[in-house]
Amino acid sequence: MSFAEIAPVAHHHPWPRRIVDAGYWRDIAGRLAAGEWGFLALWGDTGAVHLAFLEATTPATVSVATLPCPEGRFPSVAKALAVASRPERAIRDLFGLEPIGANDERHWLDHGRWPGGRPFAAPAPGDAEDAAGAAPGLPPYRFLDSTGPGLHQIPVGPVHAGIIEPGHFRFTCNGETIVRLEERLGYVHKGLDRLLAGSTIERAAKLAARISGDSTVAYSFAFALAVENALGVKAPPRAEWQRALMAELERLANHLGDIGAVCNDAAYAIMLAHCSSLREQVLRTAETAFGHRLMMDGIQPGGVAVELKKEGAAAVRGLIKVVRAQFPELVELYDNTASLADRTVATGRLDPALAAAFSAGGFVGRASGRSFDARRDLPYAPYDRLHFEVPVMTEGDVNARVWIRIKEVEQSLDLIEQILAGMPTGATTADLLGHIMSTCEGLAVVEGFRGDILASVRISADGTIERAYLRDPSWAQWPLLEAAIEGNIVADFPLCNKSFNCSYSGHDL
Amino acid sequence: MRRILFENAFSRALTEPAPNADDPELAELAGQLQHGIDRIFGGSLSIRQVDAGSCNGCELEIHALNNPYYDLERFGLKFVASPRHADVLLVTGPVTHNMREALERTYNATPAPKWVIAAGACAIDGGVFAGSYAVVGAVETVVPVAIRIPGCPPSPKTLIKGLLALMAAKAAA
Ligand code: SF4
């Protein structure tokens, strides 16, 4: 029997979830490693692991395979597929499930400091030392070895010099050249999965909106869709269009801010000054239109929280005019400044083969030849009715990542105009409560500015969240930054790092 | 490029006026320090920002303080790279257990006199993350806090007022 012939579980929407045995599990891992299918997410549950992937059909379809783990172990996917390594380490830390055959057995999110030990698993006898020994329980983290004459290490973080999130970077260098970068993350782990479990849909939506502040709209969007898919509810058309408007404003704000910030990391401050003013104008417009600069909590399961008024729409129109007038000049400035190109071209190159192997989403993937955008490839309303292009380049350097974002700014401006022109009238919220019957599950994939965010929810018969997992695109992008930086000089790290702009909070959960 | 520079030279600055000394929000924030605001200017503060577990929303608004609209440095307020150079720690997030030691060490590395600002709902009381196994909670449970700036995230305007209130208190101290 092939995987597709296994009967899917009931009440999982809109894509199928199938319960598999270890044989199928290994087979799927093999197909993912062979590049036949694309990796989406790997996450834990009480006594089971789930693997979501993209089947290369046209149009693409998503599948979830679930492997029950009654003995507390599962065959490692990471053994064949590197992108699965950190998710597996996280599963072990949170659920106590052991990936068998994994080649990296170090803890990931667990730094040995949680007072209660593992959040989802009662400590098994074998774990005793682990759980009881929390702070200072775990042995010191063992960074990977780099040996050779003339090598030295530079440890950086978790507290960084700038205003950014915390994480640790361990550079091994030969002179100025980086031989190896190893990241250590998990510092901002807030226990999201545990907080989500058992909470009401309303509270869970608030938590989802605070997984990664720069993508609050995209996270709320993904969570809302997953809940609606589970319950078989559709948000009213006007709400769908308003959601897309918020999502594009968020993309615009982040792209504008980051284009300036990348240039600033190449010591070209004038771009930062101009881009950050444009970003500020986007945020002010968002406040006028949706009552919050980051549009936090603007999207809720069932619809949207704020009604877009006439003045709001007018403010957005005004904003588009301003950006259309000013942005092209900045692009020209970026493109015609040799000293800037000297820093961005050929720096931090991510090999397209690696981007494909890691199923890297967002501008990181698209700057290295991976043409995937959930808005186009797994279309959700209203993107199925909108026209846009998905820019792709193959150079994979800092410059290509900046260019993808420049082109996406242009696409977002177009999209916003289409959305304003086509915005239907009518209600902006749908009832959810009447649809809560028995345990049901929903999945959604939404394209945030950073890449595709996957949301999976299981809602119990009493209407509370039994299990919710939201996967940030950074899971695949962080390890690729380690690869892209190799052979670059230390001074180019901030530039490369900013050009990836991975999320710490979204990854650490 | 020359055109942009030329236009910049002749266009009005985007920077907006400072809040008035009788601004109610400013007065409220200053009240936390048991100190009134007589004047907005005078002095300087070096700020070291520490993300102790935030969702990054607070950092975005703190970042915005440096954009031309708010231009924080005109007040003598500036972000520094090392706690050794700082008067103020601007702390965000619900202090995760994994960040607790880093926050304590940053605090200890900051020379006295020093002030800690808890910025944002999470820093004030743990926000939506309060009660999690992975979170300590309010910043004040880890290091002494001088002033709390509310908001999720606090807007750049509110952040500026909090910083100005602190600067006035420092000048009077
Ligand atoms: S206060 Fe709000 S924006 Fe700031 S870290 Fe907490 S959840 Fe994020």
A253 CB-near residues (< 8 Å, 6+ apart): A279, A282, A283, A286
Name the residue at shortest CA distance from atom 6 of ligand 1: B122
Q: How confident is the model at residue A116 (pLDDT cuts 50, 70, 90)?
A: confident
For chain A, what are the domain ranges? 3-100, 216-470
> Is B68's Cβ below 8 Å from some Cβ in A?
yes
Q: pLDDT tens for residues A434-464?
A: 778 889 999 999 999 999 999 999 999 999 9
* Model confidence at A133: pLDDT above 50: no
Record: contact A187-B94, CB cut-off 8 A: no
Give the residue-averaged pLDDT of A226-245.
96
Specify the pLDDT at position A298.
97
* CA gap B93, B85 in Å, rounded: 22
* CA gap B145, B140 in Å, rounded: 5
Name the DSSP letter for residue A324. H
Residue A127 tokens, joined: 């774990």
Q: How confident is the model at residue A131 (pLDDT cuts 50, 70, 90)?
A: very low
Record: contact A188-B51, CB cut-off 8 A: yes
Which of A3-17, A148-162, A418-432, B10-24 has the weakest average pLDDT?
B10-24
* Model confidence at A134: pLDDT above 80: no
* CA gap B82, B110 in Å, rounded: 8
* CA gap A389, A439 in Å, rounded: 38
Which run of H or E residues covers position B25? helix B24-31
Nearest by CB to B99, from A188, A273, A294: name it: A188
Residue type, A143: F
In chain B, which residues have their Cβ closer than 8 Å to the Cβ of A341?
Answer: none
* CA gap A470, A91 in Å, rounded: 14
User: Which of A187, A191, A45 has its CA nearest to residue A117?
Assistant: A191
**E-state strands within A123-174:** 151-156, 168-174
Question: What was the ipTM of the complex prediction?
Answer: 0.93
What is the CATH class of A216-470? Answer: mainly alpha
Record: contact A190-B94, CB cut-off 8 A: yes
* Model confidence at A135: pLDDT above 70: no
* CA gap B97, A109 in Å, rounded: 11
User: Which of A83, A402, A75, A283 has its CA nearest to residue B67?
Assistant: A283
Specify the CATH number of the domain A3-100: 3.30.460.80
Q: How confident is the model at residue A127 (pLDDT cuts 50, 70, 90)?
A: very low
* Model confidence at A128: pLDDT above 70: no
- Residue B129 Cα distances to A119, A211, A376, B102, B150, angstroms: 15, 10, 34, 19, 16
| In chain B, residues 38-57 whose CB comes closer than 8 Å to chain A | 49-57
Q: pLDDT tens for residues A277-324?
A: 999 999 999 999 999 999 999 999 999 999 999 999 999 999 999 999
Q: pLDDT tens for residues A332-390?
A: 999 999 999 999 999 999 999 999 999 999 999 999 999 999 999 999 999 999 999 99
Looking at CA atoms only, how far is residue B81 from chain A in angstroms? 4
> Is A186's Cβ below 8 Å from some Cβ in B?
yes
* CA gap A491, A265 in Å, rounded: 10
Record: contact A276-B64, CB cut-off 8 A: yes
Say which residue the tokens 């996280």 belong to: A90
A453 — phi, psi (to 5°)?
-105, 130
Residue A180 tokens, joined: 């190896």
> Is B107's Cβ below 8 Å from some Cβ in A?
no
Q: How confident is the model at residue A57 (pLDDT cuts 50, 70, 90)?
A: confident
Q: pLDDT tens for residues B134-163?
A: 999 999 999 999 999 999 999 999 999 999
User: Which of A351, A326, A234, A254 has its CA nearest to residue A294?
Assistant: A254
